[in-house]
Amino acid sequence: MKRKFKVWGFIKFLLVMTVVFCCINKFKVLYLENFQQNTSNENVLEPTSLNLLKNTDSDLILVNKKNTVNEDYIPKNLVKPNIVFLNSCTKEEMQLQSKAAHALEELFKGAKEDGIILLGSSGYRSYQSQVNVYQKYYNENGKEYAEQYVAKPGTSEHQTGLAIDVTNESRCFDKTSKEAQWLANNAYKYGFILRYPEEKTDITGYNYEPWHIRYVGKRVAKKIYKNNDALEEYLNEN
């Protein structure tokens, strides 16, 4: 009788623990779903601007926190530039609009001739890809960090196919690196600008990014470089 009692008691213990375990798991699932829903609805899926851009074919399209593009917008002439990309890049990110792609090939070639090795990091990103990127940084680093460094979906230059992040072989692309210094001084020669300069954060709305370049064409890039302007300033003056 004592043995039967012990067996029955053990079975009841297992049943109770199973119920408790199931309840804990259900709570975790509900918590995570609620967290993801809150962050997605509040911070990702609602761009901060209602100024929807219509002239999306221009090389001078201004996409920022106040100027958005539709979530279904995809550039018509995306191609893969003949450069070396990071192994972690997706096929989507290895694309730019054709003008920008050809100009980037020349930029990388010019850099190599000067002893500078650059790598492609992230070019075109669709609206949905930007949702994923923003959500990742929001979850890992919080809202304040995400808003300083990552564009909300619909407000990212990457969706235009005219912008790309580049890096170096050491993956340490700060302003003290020779690659970042070369890019800052030479990108304009190939039609690119540093989109988020260190001294223009109050205008661009983003922290300094020495790796993020934007194609605007050689004539405009030279003017922006000579006048030390942000793209917003150039467009306001012209």
Dist. CA 38–CA 170, nearest whole Å? 37
The arrangement of strands across the sheet holding 209-215 comes to: 119-122, 163-167, 209-215, 192-196
Q: Is 92 a catalytic residue?
A: no
* Contact of 159 with 172, CB cutoff 8 Å: no
Q: How many C-beta atoms lie closer than 10 Å to residue 67's C-beta?
A: 16
Residue showing tokens 């008691």 = 9
Which residues pair with residue 212 across a beta bridge?
165
* Contact of 196 with 233, CB cutoff 8 Å: no
Q: Which of 71, 92, 105, 209 is catalytic?
A: 209
> Judging by DSSP bridges, how do beta strands 78-79 and 96-97 pair with one another?
antiparallel
Catalytic residue ranges = 209
